[in-house]
Structure 1
């Protein structure tokens, strides 16, 4: 796995390459909070793109000449947006539905966010990755080990994002909730994501409230499930799961 930024990762199962929640640009109130490791042009070939909900950066892929025949997998709310951008192989799946690309199986798992969200279980060659997107912790996620067996890598959001104009309604799991899910999933390796994001100086005061310190997650896992290896991965760092 190579971290690009935010919840955007390049996951490689041998020669099969999967891009998660692409984000390569920023707006006035939507900052990744860390440098973006790669441009779209530098990605190289990708076998599948998984998108957890509908506000990710498909325009950047299109503008940079990304191969629009690449399978794009996401919930039903993402499918019409992707097709409107020109993607030609769009797979709409909802919780516990699956699709295959080459030898890769991608299963949508439940999620909950400020907009419709799914999470993903990505499998091939006896390896299993759980990608938590931007989700809150929902009870159904606790069934993943029973359904899919051992998890090699868990990528979990940790910033507990709350929306200030909505009475601080929470939209993303926080460090403690992510640590609790990690203890249930029991992955070989857990990596936090979705923590550096911010809304700009003004936006952070009037739109969003977040915890931008991934050490809070690492500390919580160390307390709740000390046997689990947690790594905080900066953009550009490649991690190989044992």
Structure 2
């Protein structure tokens, strides 16, 4: 019998992945600041999450590592947290007690859950992840650029059931338009290599405010560019664009 697999996007790159009875939260972001806007409703607050069995965090940027919101919301700080050393060092300072530091191609296992850090590249140190339990495998792309090492994932892990990828191609205007996140075409090309059963875009609604979008960042906020590219590059891979709070069940 296939283990049930469901994912619900909370907002941005914050996803609730449910594999059987396991509930895994990724890249938490529950608050906003002057230059960081989700650009979409948040599907619930920290207190409404219910039981979380593991927290997976790709890097320390505020919009992916909103640990203060978790602490303020009464999150259980004994929840196992998986991430690179830059993240676990921050988490230790916030009072988290079950820390699992993993860098690219390193794994940690808690109970039936195995989390492997896979390569990533961003404006700061970042990893991506393959999350495995119950015979299921999920690739979580954080907000990484596409790096060639990610093409090794199918050979290392076999079948990927679900791939969640950033698609907005974020560029930093004040750094000569340096690109720091894969764009829709790059994400679709990576999806073609991963060949998951289902691929979902995320990290596209984010914006920096009216002024910030003019002088700080530029990003593609239309996820249809990803689904259109995917139809060309990997037509057998199913995809959906969903509002926050909408569960997607993976066959």
TM-score bracket, normalised by the shorter chain, equals over 0.9
Q: CA deviation at 1:225?
A: 1.2
1:21 aligned residue: 27
Across the two proteins, how many residue pairs are aligned to each other?
242
Q: CA deviation at 1:30?
A: 0.2
Q: CA separation in 1, counterparts of 2:248 and 2:190?
A: 21
2:81 aligned residue: 72
In structure 2, the gaps of 5 or more residues are: 1-6
1:200 aligned residue: 209
2:150 aligned residue: 141
Q: CA deviation at 1:18?
A: 0.2
2:108 aligned residue: 99
Q: 2:249 aligns to what SS in structure 1?
A: coil
2:191 aligned residue: 182
Q: 1:77 aligns to what SS in structure 2?
A: helix
2:9 pairs with 3, 6, 11, which one? Answer: 3
Alignment of 1:50-61 (within 5 A): 50-55=56-61, 56-61=65-70
Q: CA separation in 2, counterparts of 1:72 and 1:209?
A: 31
Q: Does 1:44 align with 2:21?
A: no
The superposition leaves residues 123-144 of structure 1 with CA deviations (integer Å, 9 ceiling, x where unpaired) of: 0111000000010000000010
Q: CA separation in 2, counterparts of 1:102 and 1:241?
A: 22
Q: CA deviation at 1:88?
A: 0.5
Q: 1:239 aligns to what SS in structure 2?
A: strand
1:34 pairs with 17, 36, 40, which one? Answer: 40
Instruction: Quote the RMSD (CA, aligned, Å).
Output: 0.5
Q: TM-score, normalised on structure 2?
A: 0.96
2:121 aligned residue: 112
Q: CA separation in 2, counterparts of 1:101 and 1:215?
A: 37
Q: TM-score, normalised on structure 1?
A: 0.99
Does structure 2 conserve the Cα–Cα contact (< 8 Å) formed by 1:18 and 1:48?
yes
In structure 1, the gaps of 5 or more residues are: none
Q: CA separation in 1, counterparts of 2:47 and 2:20?
A: 21
Does structure 2 conserve the Cα–Cα contact (< 8 Å) formed by 1:47 and 1:101?
no
